[in-house]
Structure 1
Amino acid sequence: MDKTFDPTAIEQRWYQTWEENGWFAPQGGERSYCIMIPPPNVTGSLHMGHAFQDTIMDGLTRYHRMKGDNTLWQPGTDHAGIATQMVVERLLEKEGKTRHDLGREKFIERVWQWKKESGGTITRQLRRMGASLDWEHERFTMDEGLSEAVKEVFVRLYEEGLIYRGKRLVNWDPVLHTAVSDLEVLSQEENGHLWHMRYPLTNGTGQLVVATTRPETMIGDCAVAVSPGDERYAHLIGEFVELPLTGRKIPIIADEHVDAEFGTGCVKITPAHDFNDYEVWQRHRDETAIAAQPHGGLINIFTVDAAIRANEADDQGLIPEKYVGMDRYAARKAMLADLEALDLLEKIDDHKLMVPRGDRSNAIIEPFLTDQWYVKIEPQAKPAIEAVETGRIRFVPDNWKNTYFEWMRNIQDWCISRQIWWGHRIPAWYDDNGNVYVGRSEDEVRRQHDLAADYPLRQDEDVLDTWFSSALWPFSTLGWPEQTERLQTFYPTSVLVTGFDIIFFWVARMIMMGLKFMDDVPFHEVYVHGLVRDAEGQKMSKSKGNVLDPIDVIDGIDLESLVAKRTSGMMQPHLAKKIEKQTRKNFPDGIPAYGTDALRFTFASQASTGRDIVLSLQRIEGYRNFCNKLWNASRYVLMNVADVGLKSDLREDAGRASARQALEYSVADRWILSRLQHTTAEVGAAIESYRFDHAAQAIYEFTWNEYCDWYLELTKPVLNADDTSDAQKRAARYTLVNVLENLLRITHPIMPFITEEIWQAVKPLAGKSGDTIMLQPFPVADDDQRDPGSEEEMQWVMDFVLGIRRIKGEMNIAPGKPIPVLLDNAGEKDRRLLAANRRYLDFLARTESVRILDSNEEAPEAATALVGDIKLLIPLADLIDKDAELQRLEKELGKLQSEVERAGKKLSNPGFTDKAPQAVVQKEKEKLEAARAAMKNLEEQAERIRKL
């Protein structure tokens, strides 16, 4: 092994070896274990959320593979309809072209070409993260097999009456010209206005004042609604108002939707342009005053561009010609001017409101009335709810099932059509008479309906919502509708690892589709993880400049490259400057290369169920140091074991009874072997229960604190002393190798690269065969090696050593300086333990002498530490310079006093405590408490020294 650990020298080499040898593929086994990767967008790149999620999935996959399960982690990507189309359209724009210049067929060819050349970024990054996916069976939601599955599902649902076409409100993006899902709409608070408009009563007795944030939609009003309990307007229910600017009469209705306390208590009802108004219209549409209006009161006033549309043949002139062709905001300005001229604009209030914007285009989304394809959800929702209620599917943490139930019990039909070109084209055809034919292909449609080859048919122009194909992911990727061996082996899958934000959009739909087409749940458990936040607890976003690219953390990046990367593509110069300033402040030296293992262990250490991850480079650096610790410990083992040759006592059979005569295990050997069993059991149980934080903590504590800091040190006086027997040395060497080899296998699911590299060097000494650690069995705790007596004895030794080290530290005595130790109140057991472990105490505590005080002997003035019932005494008179030590302590106390005053002043300033992030304030409080505690300790030390 090299002297220093260099992750860049081993990671890509080992990944290539693993993949080329096909070790990621299912290896067989009695029990199948399968995870489906949430298919990332083909346009995307790996961010910290992906890296965290993939660490958990790969940890589970590697663990179950080592457990001997027939393990599959299914890879694949999503075609990301809107996002991908936008990317390619922007490329065409640079060429001075649009997709319409190419035509649909040529445009689709161009998208496939782009996908081939540039669409594999995220799969390359997954490899860099060490993800052990079965790449040989990678799928894409637009590949031939999945496309057939999509058509099959659509046709079957249509034939059962569960898919239909209808005119309803959707989220409409006026820039992209398509319906978008709720997940693609980002609502954010913005400054706006509340306009108060006068609607005259047709009986001439006055007017109603209606408050609205969207006055341009008023020409589509079908009613004014008031609260049923509002006494101010009770006498007007059933009366009419004249809709300004239109000359139309609309009724006054009562509906529970209206909040009497908001605005004037009168609400304009525009059902074709507001989701809440649409629901009100549904409840009142059969009332004569509404039903008799043009289009039954459901009046669409916009074009696909969100401009005022022209009147059509049957509109009866309901759209005022003056505004036709105007953009919605130009129309707003013109309508408000006309209302003011007519003295119908009462007042304008400033108002903050939630504005829905498309996550791709940033355009303000318009509720829009269009013909779309829908899936009837309610018939499929009931069995999906029951699957969770009865425990066939379990959420982890359990509380997320409540979110699932809330969505599922208030579910609406699913709009599955999108007005773009890239995606699964809807398998429906129309003739010139408006008849609709649905089938798997045009040929099938013609055969089923006996249509001649020259009978004119045109296929629906729309494509399916990306979530439609994603809903089939657990079974379409395994070969459905064909009954493949992979489908029979791995469906239902074992667990879905996902974020909370897509429980409804993806998780629920997979459950419904799985139950419908496979007659079984798609997975048994849903592990819901939290978000990854920055060191101050803020959500990571490009606009905040706090996004970390996991590959930059793994491989490192210099400051200038990091600045260029973060500001690239920023359209707003002021935002780019802000991001550059923050980047230079937070990363003055760029980001060093930490390696994949350190990043993965950082994620695992914080992966408590359901909680967000607070990520900092300091934490990652700490786990890079942990990698170094493991590396250096392994080098120590190899240096002390490899030179003695491959003797039988270093093989697995050395632990058996027949071979133990050649080995003489020390209490330290028995202790570390016992602790190994505890750690093995704890890590396995933690991974099984998705507590990767507990698994990482157990590995860290055992590796650093027990194996490296204690056991390796305890072997030095055994291996290096002349009076140690060969049997004792052989036992120590065997234990060093045996424990290390087991530790590497325990750690491998979380840190695959470093464990593989070390294991290759250790395996011949441990008597192991096999080409890779990833196919070795995960260790199982051996109860026969649990040794409570040895653990108790070693705890006594460690307490003894730590007591002396603490005194040395407090009194500024050099760690290597030999010191005399007196023991007061030592019992028979203490005497026995002292005699048995004197070698360890002299070596680790650097004791010059150890003497037990007689029962009637008075203890001298000394620094003390307790070990159980006995008292350790270190006489200080000849060990320290009293005056010099007091001066040193006074100097340290002065520094701490300044820190206490600084922090206290900062925390008493409301400008800091009220405005700074809570995490920053809490950190300042912790600094203050730590300084006060340190002052107390130093004052106590000074007092003890004064008494000498």
Structure 2
Amino acid sequence: MAEQNTSTAPLEKTFNPSQYEAPLYQHWEESGVFTAHPEKEGRAFSIMFPPPNVTGTLHLGHALNFTLQDILIRWQRMNGANVLWQPGTDHAGIATQMVVERALDKEGISRTALGRPGFIDRVWDWKKEYGGTIVRQLRTLGASADWSRERFTMDDGLSKAVRKVFVQLHKEGLIYRDRRLVNWDPAFRSAISDLEVENRETKGSMWYIRYPLDDGRTITIATTRPETMLGDVAVAVSPEDDRYRDMIGQEVTLPLTGRRVPIIADEHSDPEKGTGAVKITPAHDFNDFEVGKRHNLAAPTILDEGAHIWLDDIESEIKVVEGLADPAFVRSLAGMHRDEARKKIVAELERLEWLEKIEPHTLQVPIAERGGAIVEPRLTLQWYCDAPKLAGPAVEAVQNEKIVFEPRQWENTFFAWMRELQPWCISRQLWWGHRIPAWYGSDGQTYVAETEEDAQAQAGEGVILTQDEDVLDTWFSSALWPFSTLGWPDNTEALKRYYPTSVLVTGFDIIFFWVSRMMMMGLHFMGEVPFHKVLIHGLVRDEKGQKMSKSRGNGLDPLELVSEFGADAVRLAICAGAGLGRDIKLGRGRVEEHRAFITKLWNASRFLQMNGAAPAAQFDPTQVKGTLSRWIIQEARQATENAQAALQASRFDDYARCCYHFVWNIFCDWFVEFAKPIFNAGGEEAAELKAVSAYVLGIILRMMQPVIPFVTATLWQKLGYEGEFATTSWPIVPSIAEAQKAADDVNWLVRLITEVRVVRSEMNVPPSQKAPLLFRDAKPETIERAQQWHEAISRMARASEVSALTGEAPHMAAQIVLDEATIFLPLEGVIDLDAERNRLRKEVTRLETEIEKVTKKLSNENFVSRAKPEVVQENRDRLSDFEHELTRQKAALARLD
């Protein structure tokens, strides 16, 4: 569907998004309007996709993130910037490997049976067939990215960048191998990142176990993991705990294994928790690992990579102790899964009477986000990046405002995370991903190089090399995204033109995992920040403010919403709710409301077209003479300036609100209504007003292109506006002569009609019943103004007469004060005044009763503390509504009394 102005056929009665969206998008993409041209002039503006997982499908979080990006990109394109919106996807190591392994399981094939090369081939096959799902769905949403530059984190060019970065950081001592605790997924048998671990509240048990001292006393420890006692190396107590002060330095004999371990003093033990004594198992607990380092303790591993009991590290220390330890029992646990071993250990402790008691206990259990396995802290040899050393320039860049977070309070979160940085585990025990460029030689040496040929050259002839089996953490390649996608390490034109990027739009949950790491890598390798602004958006919640989840059944599929309401309605609903840093409340009702706005715009455009309002090529807005024409052009000028300012400040909700108010309230509700009789009358005034209508409608279409591109492009084409809509510029409206006088006149008219409508509504005057409007104490110019707009007042305020009051004020009339004038609306004979008084009094009584009920409920501390937050908020909203309505009804009653 070429976007050409070859036809001005009548608009259909209704806008059908499905008829226009796909053809329009295809035209845009094929015509190259989204393509970046680094060689061309213009201020550079660039945004990088936060690359969605190649396994992903579009969810509401994506819809929010990419809608906001697209609004900025389209707006900057309209403002003359040389724009690049760089798209791409992430290879998502563990997620993709899991998906492909599950597909193989259905075929009865195992990953190991295929072997590494065969499995990798199958992953690439899967990627070719299914990996583009989310980018196709983003097109459905209207994302105007430069798809010709689409990248994938496993592309050859990006792989080259990853290898170069690894080798350079290794040479600088910033990448090294170390034996430390990691989050370990026993199902995938790999280290995983903190972001891939979900802590779930679970009901479990706390076991109290007595450990004997040599002097006949015992010390009781409390644990949720009795199976890890096989790897205990100490019992820790607080140095300030008087109960255990004389035990510090003594030894206990561990039940079951007979191993002897010391009682140590360490602040890690909290006298207020449990028994105040804690078992220390450095190889299986992050806190214990730190205690072990402080006290130079051993760290025996007692669980293998699949979370089965493994005794090699403690085999030589297992002893027979009568009534306490039996090596035969301990050895019977070897190879047993931790859950089964836990039951056996608890039963044996109970049999030997070393189990003091068991209590119910609620705990946080770490669960692997992919696959659902319980994550184990595990001591393994891994590759690490010295993140604390790389962090300094990133922190400084934020402190010096080279990078600004919006909202600014997220900078505090960033600083807090950066202060707590630990070495970053960058190796993963997977097959899918960037394989670590390190080779182990038959000479016992390790060779780190970009290629095997380089590694062999380092090793020399005769040394047999074996490449490291592990791959890099997905976040490692993602950290290079802002410059690797632009061709680095080659000094490409795109890299020179678009780096640093302008803004990063992302959620707060990955500030630490991705945002900070891009800062580190960008500053280290490019000597420059990767972006100037980090725009943090909130979460999408349902209409009541609850988090969306499958269990609640309140989730929404953005593609279903697009199918039902159109992409524009979804985009506009998201934009309208996207306050800076705030969560967005979104439901079907909100999307439907914004589809109603699109319908309103379509209907207004159709009305103008039917009345002959067509774009005029030589139209000069500065030459208009009519009051209504000058007023609406001035209002359009103000609206475009407000919209521009809102987008400049990343206030998407203000931008939507400004557009909504101008289009619906000013243009449709007032201007079009005022224009109707003038259109019908014909003549020069009508001709001017039709040209003005088309001019202002063109401004609206351009002003709203960033958020509702499909309906605005359709109207632009069908109504005969000139030029390719996708490349039109942001509307600049000139100042208009005598604009203030026109504004004063029309705004007075709007206030008058509005006040009359309010009074008629409060007084329950039937719409069909007309009533006179009588002006007292009005200046001559006010009477003249009223006469000038007599037709509009009569029609829109349902006035049977508009005139100055002569004589006494009418009996039983509602009064309106407007500037210097008092306007009477006689009601005698128009409504039954006694019946209306009775109705209003009953309504006031009803509202007062409702307010009393809700106030009583909200004053009840038990209700406020125990009820769901959304229920409490619902009652607060009801109270506010009742109070507002009571004020309105009392005002109406006062008018009659």
TM-score range, shorter chain: over 0.9
1:178-197 equivalent positions in 2, closer than 5 A: 178-197=190-209
1:795-944 equivalent positions in 2, closer than 5 A: 795-854=747-806, 857-882=808-833, 916-931=867-882, 933-934=884-885, 937-938=888-889, 941=892
The worse-fitting range, judged by mean Cα deviation, of 924-933 and 160-169 is 924-933
Rounded to whole Å, the distance in 1 between the matches of 2:54 and 2:289 is: 36
2:812 is matched by which residue type in structure 1?
E
1:1-400 equivalent positions in 2, closer than 5 A: 1-26=11-36, 28-202=40-214, 204-285=215-296, 290=297, 297-311=298-312, 320-400=330-410
User: Offset at 1:611?
Assistant: 0.7
- Is 1:709 the equivalent of 2:669? yes
Q: Secondary structure at the match of 2:565?
A: coil
- Is 1:509 the equivalent of 2:517? yes
1:425-824 equivalent positions in 2, closer than 5 A: 425-452=435-462, 455-555=463-563, 593-642=564-613, 650-656=616-622, 660=623, 663=624, 665-721=625-681, 725-726=683-684, 728-764=685-721, 769-771=722-724, 773-784=725-736, 787-824=739-776
User: Offset at 1:721?
Assistant: 2.4
Q: Secondary structure at the match of 2:103?
A: helix
Rounded to whole Å, the distance in 2 between the matches of 1:269 and 1:932 is: 61
User: Offset at 1:880?
Assistant: 2.8
Gaps in structure 2 of 5+ consecutive residues: 1-10, 320-326
Rounded to whole Å, the distance in 2 between the matches of 1:409 and 1:888 is: 66
Q: Secondary structure at the match of 1:276?
A: helix
State TM-score, norm by structure 1: 0.89
Rounded to whole Å, the distance in 2 between the matches of 1:357 and 1:434 is: 37
Contact 2:556 2:587 in 1 (8 A): no
Q: Deviations over 1:613-656 (max 9, x none)?
A: 111211111111000010011112212235xx77xxx3344335
Contact 1:717 1:843 in 2 (8 A): no
Rounded to whole Å, the distance in 2 between the matches of 1:887 and 1:305 is: 79
- Alpha carbons of 1:883 and 1:858: their partners in 2 closer, same or farther (altered >3 Å)? closer
Rounded to whole Å, the distance in 1 between the matches of 2:165 and 2:222 is: 46
Q: Deviations over 1:787-835 (max 9, x none)?
A: 3332222221111111222233233334354432111221244234224
1:761 is matched by which residue type in structure 2?
K
User: Offset at 1:76?
Assistant: 0.4
How many residue pairs match? The answer is 876
1:609 is matched by which residue type in structure 2?
L
Contact 2:258 2:318 in 1 (8 A): no
Q: Deviations over 1:401-455 (max 9, x none)?
A: 1111111112111001111111111111112343211111111111233234xx4
- Alpha carbons of 1:540 and 1:72: their partners in 2 closer, same or farther (altered >3 Å)? same
Rounded to whole Å, the distance in 1 between the matches of 2:586 and 2:43 is: 36
1:227 is matched by which residue type in structure 2?
S
Contact 1:803 1:865 in 2 (8 A): yes
What's the % identity of the aligned pairs?
48
1:211 is matched by which residue type in structure 2?
A
Q: Secondary structure at the match of 2:361?
A: strand
User: Offset at 1:883?
Assistant: 6.3
Contact 1:741 1:763 in 2 (8 A): no
Contact 1:805 1:815 in 2 (8 A): no
1:86 is matched by which residue type in structure 2?
M
1:730 is matched by which residue type in structure 2?
A
Q: Deviations over 1:198-247 (max 9, x none)?
A: 11113x24121111111111111111111121122222222211122222
Rounded to whole Å, the distance in 1 between the matches of 2:420 and 2:883 is: 55
The worse-fitting range, judged by mean Cα deviation, of 89-98 and 826-835 is 826-835
User: Offset at 1:774?
Assistant: 2.1
Rounded to whole Å, the distance in 2 between the matches of 1:140 and 1:779 is: 37
User: Offset at 1:315?
Assistant: 5.2
Contact 1:216 1:328 in 2 (8 A): yes
Rounded to whole Å, the distance in 1 between the matches of 2:480 and 2:674 is: 57
Contact 1:803 1:872 in 2 (8 A): no
Q: Secondary structure at the match of 1:103?
A: helix
Contact 2:456 2:465 in 1 (8 A): no
Contact 2:387 2:423 in 1 (8 A): yes
Contact 1:820 1:874 in 2 (8 A): yes
Larger RCO, structures 1/2 (Cα 8 Å, 6+ apart) = 2
Rounded to whole Å, the distance in 2 between the matches of 1:356 and 1:666 is: 70
User: Offset at 1:868?
Assistant: 1.9
Contact 1:673 1:785 in 2 (8 A): no
1:398-413 equivalent positions in 2, closer than 5 A: 398-413=408-423
Rounded to whole Å, the distance in 1 between the matches of 2:757 and 2:686 is: 27
- Alpha carbons of 1:451 and 1:544: their partners in 2 closer, same or farther (altered >3 Å)? farther
Q: CA RMSD, aligned part only?
A: 2.4
Contact 2:771 2:798 in 1 (8 A): yes
- Alpha carbons of 1:11 and 1:920: their partners in 2 closer, same or farther (altered >3 Å)? farther
Q: Secondary structure at the match of 2:284?
A: coil
Rounded to whole Å, the distance in 2 between the matches of 1:617 and 1:549 is: 10
- Alpha carbons of 1:234 and 1:313: their partners in 2 closer, same or farther (altered >3 Å)? closer
Q: Deviations over 1:341-372 (max 9, x none)?
A: 33221111211111111011211111001111
Contact 1:227 1:258 in 2 (8 A): yes
Q: Secondary structure at the match of 2:783?
A: helix
1:868 is matched by which residue type in structure 2?
D
User: Offset at 1:896?
Assistant: 6.6
Rounded to whole Å, the distance in 1 between the matches of 2:618 and 2:294 is: 77
2:661 is matched by which residue type in structure 1?
E
Q: Deviations over 1:3-48 (max 9, x none)?
A: 1111111111111111111111125442100000100011111111
Rounded to whole Å, the distance in 2 between the matches of 1:264 and 1:892 is: 63
Contact 1:674 1:786 in 2 (8 A): no
User: Offset at 1:339?
Assistant: 2.0
Rounded to whole Å, the distance in 1 between the matches of 2:159 and 2:518 is: 16
- Alpha carbons of 1:139 and 1:655: their partners in 2 closer, same or farther (altered >3 Å)? same
Contact 2:770 2:799 in 1 (8 A): yes
Rounded to whole Å, the distance in 1 between the matches of 2:270 and 2:737 is: 71
- Alpha carbons of 1:812 and 1:858: their partners in 2 closer, same or farther (altered >3 Å)? closer
- Alpha carbons of 1:52 and 1:826: their partners in 2 closer, same or farther (altered >3 Å)? same
Contact 1:608 1:691 in 2 (8 A): yes
Q: Deviations over 1:756-804 (max 9, x none)?
A: 111113344xxxx322x22111123534568333222222111111122
Q: Secondary structure at the match of 1:544?
A: coil
